[in-house]
Structure 1
Amino acid sequence: MTDQVRTDRRRTHASWRQRFHDPISALIFLLPMLTLFILFRFLPVFGSVGLSFTNYKIGGSWDVIGAENYSRMFSDQVFLDSLWTTLLYAAIYVPMTVIVALATAMLLNSVLWGRAVFRGALFLPYVTSFVLAGLIWRWMYEIDGMINSILGWLGTGPVGFLQETSLVLPSLAVVSSWKGFGYSMLILFAGLKSIPTSYLEAARVDGANAWQRFRMIVLPLLRPVMFFVVVIETIAAFQVFDTIYVMTGGGPTRASYTLVYALYDQGFQFFDFGYAATLGVALFLIILVISLIQRRFLDRESDA
């Protein structure tokens, strides 16, 4: 056997040993976070599914009741109303947040100096506490609050933003959009930075105006990022709770009583954890369907 053959075999053996060693090293570093993820993500999901087939309540006996909770859910008018309220809220919140995030991302992309300062200022509401933001905006929305004071200076009567059923969801959506648009703005800003400037320069030379460049170049190239932003904001809309809990408590007359708030009431007000787990499973399935839609659209974009 020649020295060259021996050398090649040693290299092959070392290569396979390295390939086996690298995944183990990576797994060791990932193990603490993977353990936390399994304990606080996967196990609660499976536990909730199992709990949804029981009538478990605190301090009492419980039995396995099969699919009774699911039958109750589909005939429960409170659940149906809260689902409809959540859908209405999402229909207001998602377009508003995406449009604001896209507009601010494009403005930020056009800034030539102080971009980091503006980016930090626009992202600041996202890292603000939901409770703090809700308390501030509730004061602003009050009859004698800042917004109604400004409307009074303009000669318009006070508006009950959180007291009128027709205004409460748009008012809450404004708060959540102000609080959460910064994250989507950064994602869209990164997408805008990935668009080659040569495309825009060529379109400008051909005589395309700003709207034509946006519609024919920016939007098509930004579409995969836009789909991702729409999906994550839709998920955020279905999970809204903090803002409603602080500002309205589900009122007035349950006009802001969303699905997560119904889950909270069933679990921590009525202590009906079996039925609350059923609502949680329904919410999980809704979010799962949205995630599958996201994957379908992204796969379609990658194949195009």
Structure 2
Amino acid sequence: MATITAPTPQVRKEPRRKIWTSNGALIAYVFILPYVLFFTIFRIIPALYGIVLSFGEYSLGGSLELLGLDNYRRLFADELFWNALKVTGIYAAVAIPMTVAISLAMAQLCNRVMRGMSFYRSIFFLPVVTSPVLSGLVFIWIFSPDGPLNWVLGSVGIPATNWLQSSFWVLPSLALVSAWMNFGYNMLILLAGMLAIPQDYYEAAQLDGANAWQRFVKMTLPLLKPALFFVLVLETVKSFQVFDTIYVMTGGGPVRASYTLTYMIYDQGFGYFDFGYASAAGVVLLVITLIFSLIQRRLVGRSH
């Protein structure tokens, strides 16, 4: 006798509504469109044109003559470029750890509940909104032979130093200015990451006998890796592209001890009007910055 099987009811599938066509998404696109246009016109298009310009020679009359790889051959054979690259590397090696360490220490200091902490956080953020030119002028006075820094050091028996005219001390001095200008913004990013860590973790570690340093090293730093990676990338880009404080405080001196790659790009482009050569140096700087960011992404930003 044949078995009769009841037919399986067909479930009607509702068409999946595309997220990017919803009313909320369309409204969001309308709001972000001005920024996208602004970023495209003033960032992406000039960057692409700069890459094209690095393969040619641009005259003030507006004509562009393509030269192939001539600018890059000339660049890699130029001792001035290698000196600027060395100065940039030394500056970055000093400025990045100094700024990140100060930012991390200040974020840990502000990561506590006490009266007036919001006021202190606002005070620490003030250097970020201060004009770099004004900051540079103030630090010229601080680092001058008769400035307050030498006065303080002289009170403990350390002889006065002309910091900005010393080939050895000029880059650490500029790195200190950069750390003072940027630590407030980085501090807020790291502080936000610290506040996102559940307090239950610290309480459990404290019950297990971990002291404050062990909790910071074993818990705070590993859980802070996303924010720390962002700060590292941000400081890497800023360090390789530093210009304003050098322009105001040293002008690339003394004897080109602070003549960074960014300052060389400015000098060649707007000092000698060699825009193609300056663009080639800019493309090299872009590649170097990208490589270091990818290395940091692999070493620090990798999620486990």
TM-score when normalising by structure 2: 0.90
1:244 aligns to 2:246 (yes or no)? yes
Tell me which residue corresponds to 1:200. Answer: 202
- In structure 2, what is the Cα distance between the partners aligned to 1:285 and 1:96? 24
Structure 1 residues not aligned, in runs of 5+: 1-7
Q: What is the one-letter code of the residue matched to 1:273?
A: F
1:201-253 Cα deviation digits (max 9, x unpaired): 11111111111111211111112222221121111100100000000000000
Aligned mate of 1:89, from 88, 91, 100: 91
Aligned mate of 2:48, from 46, 49, 58: 46
1:1-20 Cα deviation digits (max 9, x unpaired): xxxxxxx99xx689569935
Tell me which residue corresponds to 1:291. Answer: 293
Q: What is the one-letter code of the residue matched to 2:225?
A: R
Tell me which residue corresponds to 2:9. Answer: none
Q: CA deviation at 1:294?
A: 4.5
- In structure 2, what is the Cα distance between the partners aligned to 1:17 and 1:54? 45
Q: CA deviation at 1:60?
A: 7.8
1:259 aligns to 2:261 (yes or no)? yes
Contact 2:243–2:262 (Cα < 8 Å) also in 1: yes
**Cα RMSD after superposing both structures:** 2.1
- In structure 2, what is the Cα distance between the partners aligned to 1:242 and 1:136? 14
Q: CA deviation at 1:34?
A: 1.2
Q: CA deviation at 1:169?
A: 0.3
Matches within 5 A, 1:64-213: 64-213=66-215
Contact 1:57–1:274 (Cα < 8 Å) also in 2: no
Tell me which residue corresponds to 1:221. Answer: 223
- In structure 2, what is the Cα distance between the partners aligned to 1:14 and 1:66? 51
TM-score when normalising by structure 1: 0.90
1:12-43 Cα deviation digits (max 9, x unpaired): 68956993544433322222211111100110
| DSSP-derived class of the 2:66 partner | coil
Structure 2 residues not aligned, in runs of 5+: 1-11
| DSSP-derived class of the 1:144 partner | coil
Contact 1:94–1:237 (Cα < 8 Å) also in 2: yes
- In structure 2, what is the Cα distance between the partners aligned to 1:16 and 1:209? 51
Q: CA deviation at 1:282?
A: 1.1
- In structure 2, what is the Cα distance between the partners aligned to 1:17 and 1:92? 47
| DSSP-derived class of the 2:272 partner | coil
- In structure 1, what is the Cα distance between the partners aligned to 2:289 and 2:112? 35
- In structure 2, what is the Cα distance between the partners aligned to 1:20 and 1:112? 45
Contact 2:236–2:293 (Cα < 8 Å) also in 1: no
Contact 2:229–2:301 (Cα < 8 Å) also in 1: no
Tell me which residue corresponds to 2:7. Answer: none
